[in-house]
Amino acid sequence: MPNNHQFSPLPPWPRTDYCGNLRESDAGREVGLWGWVAARRDHGGLIFIDLRDREGIVQLVFNPERAAAAHRIADQARAEYYLAVRGAVVRRTPATINAELPTGAIEIVVAQAQILNPSWPMPLQLDESADEQLRLKYRYLDLRRPAMQRNLRTRHQAVRGAREFLDGQGFVEIETPILWRATPEGARDYLVPSRVNPGRFYALPQSPQLLKQILMVGGFDRYYQIARCFRDEDLRANRQPEFTQIDIEMTGPRIEDVMAIGQGMMASMFRRAAGIELELPFPRLEYEEAMERFGSDKPDLRFGIELRNFTSAFAGTQFRIFADVLARNESIYGIAMPPDLQLARRELDELAESLRSRYSMGLAWVRVAEPDWQGPIARHLSATERARVTETAALKGGETVLMVAGPAANVRPVLGEIRLNLAARFNLRKADERRFLWVTDFPLFEYSPEERRLVSVNHPFTAPHPEDLGLLDSDPLAMHALAYDLVLNGEELGGGSIRIHNRELQLRVFEKLGLTRESATEKFGFLLDALSYGAPPHGGIAFGVERITMLLCGADSIRDVMAFPKTQKAVDLMSGAPSEVGIEQLRELGIKVIT
RNA sequence: GGGGUCGUAGUUCAGCCCGGUUAGAACGCCGGCCUGUCACGUCGGAAGUCGUGGGUUCAAAUCCCAUCGGCCCCGCCA
């Protein structure tokens, strides 16, 4: 490979413009450009090079008769060589205009050129077809792709929109420690050994939750942070072990005040990053209604096919299976698929089989046909029951009604999942539609069969609804939380709550979660103490930057909105992290590897 | 922890079901020709531990087992 370029740390002439910004109005100007060779077309005489930088591509023309030295450089140039060129912006003749390119009406007639750095042959193609393993290994090359450039800049604009809005509302950006302490509850912690305190560990924060509460006690009144969070859990298409939240806390808000900030900020982000004006305020739905109608606490409102509660329709039924269910005081829910969205018999059988194997649940279905209903359970349904089902689901004829029976808490999410699968199957979700939604009034606690105790639905610092305070000892599972999630198209974008600011109440909630006063004081003493010195009422919310950016970019993977993501096994393929470390490093930390 | 899927020249892929030529194509790379292309064209060339290990077989990219890695999902993610 010819490589006669001279290494020089300094550029030979200044860059006056970015390639992608040049337009017809620049014709006649002398410009200096630096960029990568995106394509090279060698005609033996003339050579064309598409030069790419962060703003886009422009065509360079090298004419051996007009600039022989520059032409020799172009002759040597290959894909992804980094070039500096100097030349004139020239209007193309009408026949040679390229309407596909923003810069296609002009080209650069190069007078001088220099190879600032050659490139080894590319280990991957810079397009969507590249294998993701290679993209991650050679991330610095992948990042040159226009799509990645665009995504990360969209992210930048979104965060900028958030900062602008919050600054305008009097919020103060404050950084909190990355080296923090391990806390019980929640996700697995990433631990960092302390050299000066052998045997002790910091934890990386899962979120700055307690720190931001304490900042309210510290008098900052309105805080925000673009905060890196760490959770040592398995990865997914939209989950990485480290991710970024826009973390917000304020003194004395009602739920509505936090929502106003949250949706105002969201509007600012969409305006900045996508030029989209959101319609405010976002609608609200209580948790219970979301579960009842959509089988989900983050419903996708872009399509209907809502759940129906058929429990009372089958009161007194002779149909054995349903009668048994009702005898156990359980429920029967279903969804009615309209005539134009019909599953084949085989698909219904597959769905039934998948429910059986995954949830040990049966699927009953009937086709609402004339003259008679069809399907395995049709003959078990009395005329009264058919009439009630028809009324409950507002049937008009031709529907297929899918029914699942069991405890409502199990049945509704399963139907919610079926609802989503049907939407995917029939392509009911419009990609360009945005349905924001606040979900409120979550339960405060739920029962964890694995741990055989109550756990917080949100987190242990969430304030109970004031009307439910009396239930703390008698019926904690019936309590509601002053918590809220922001949902867009079935995705949770953020969530928050009004916090407990009273030491005694916080202790009583800890106790409900199985933490003794002693152990709560040991693990959360700093919080309890902070609450004991005139802590103001406070509350807040946090938003997932990557999830919002994914929606803004139409990205299917969180890795496409992060500069240096990790694989599903939490490995950075570029650097090889996590790596083994030397024995001396471990000894200094008092750590012995036992695996 | 579990289920699914993919892994073949530098790259993107075909071949694998149904075992049997020298494992093909395109892009890229190297060399030649070409003064208006824009994924330029054209002629020629080099380039492969078929992810790895084991097994079955006269014979394995192809069948079987194990293992490693990428991706998707369940569990997990207050």
Three-class SS of residue A245? strand
What pLDDT does residue A133 have?
94
- CA A325 to C1' B45, in angstroms, rounded, equals 76
Contacts of A337 (CB under 8 A, 6+ apart): A305, A343, A399, A400, A401, A402, A422
Q: What CATH class does A303-425 carry? A: alpha beta
Q: Locate the domains of chain A by residue range.
A: 19-117, 148-285+436-562, 303-425
- For A451 and B68, how far is CA from C1' in angstroms? 35
CA distances from A595 to A27, A240, A390, A577, A592 (A): 67, 25, 62, 18, 9
Per-residue pLDDT of chain A (595 residues; tens, 9 = 90+): 334 456 777 888 999 999 999 999 999 999 999 999 999 999 999 999 999 999 999 999 999 999 999 999 999 999 999 999 999 999 999 999 999 999 999 999 999 999 999 999 999 989 888 899 999 999 999 999 999 999 999 999 999 999 999 999 999 999 999 999 998 778 999 999 999 999 999 999 999 999 999 999 999 999 999 999 999 999 999 999 999 999 999 999 999 999 999 999 999 999 999 999 999 999 999 999 999 999 999 999 999 889 999 888 888 888 888 888 888 989 999 999 998 888 888 888 888 887 887 787 888 888 888 878 888 888 888 888 888 888 898 888 888 899 998 888 888 998 998 898 888 888 888 888 899 999 999 999 998 888 888 999 999 999 999 999 999 999 999 999 999 999 999 999 999 999 999 999 999 999 999 999 999 999 999 999 999 999 999 999 999 999 999 999 999 999 999 999 999 999 999 999 999 899 999 999 999 888 7
Residue A125: strand, helix, or coil: coil
At residue A192, the pLDDT reads 96
Distance from C-alpha of A366 to C-alpha of A101, rounded to nearest angstrom: 56
Query: Could you tell me if A527 and A507 are in contact, meaning their C-beta atoms sit under 8 angstroms apart?
Result: no
- Separation between Cα atoms, residue A234 and residue A188, nearest integer Å: 10
> Whole-number Å distance, CA A570 to C1' B71?
13
Query: Which nucleotide's C1' sits nearest to the alpha carbon of A458?
Result: B78
Nearest-CA residue to the C1' of B13?
A129
Q: Are A181 and A202 in contact (CB under 8 A)?
A: yes
Report how far residue A258's alpha carbon sits from residue A497's, in angstroms, rounded to the nearest whole number.
9
Provide, in whole angstroms, the distance separating residue A576's CA from nucleotide B66's C1': 26
Nucleotide nearest to A134 (CA to C1'): B70
Q: Which nucleotide is nearest to A358 (CA to C1')?
A: B74
Tell me which nucleotides of strand B come within 7 A of a protein CB: 1, 10-13, 27-31, 33-41, 69-78
A19-117 architecture in CATH? Beta Barrel (2.40)
Nucleotide nearest to A229 (CA to C1'): B77
pLDDT (0 to 100) of residue A6: 62
Rounded, the Å distance between the CA of A560 and C1' of B16 is 33
CA R_g for chain A: 31
Q: Which of A68, A45, A50, A59 is nearest to A92 (CA)?
A: A59
Cα distances (angstroms) measured from residue A572 to each of A66, A133, A230, A256: 48, 10, 15, 41
Fold adopted by A148-285+436-562:
BirA Bifunctional Protein; domain 2 (3.30.930)
Angstrom distance, A49 CA to B9 C1': 27
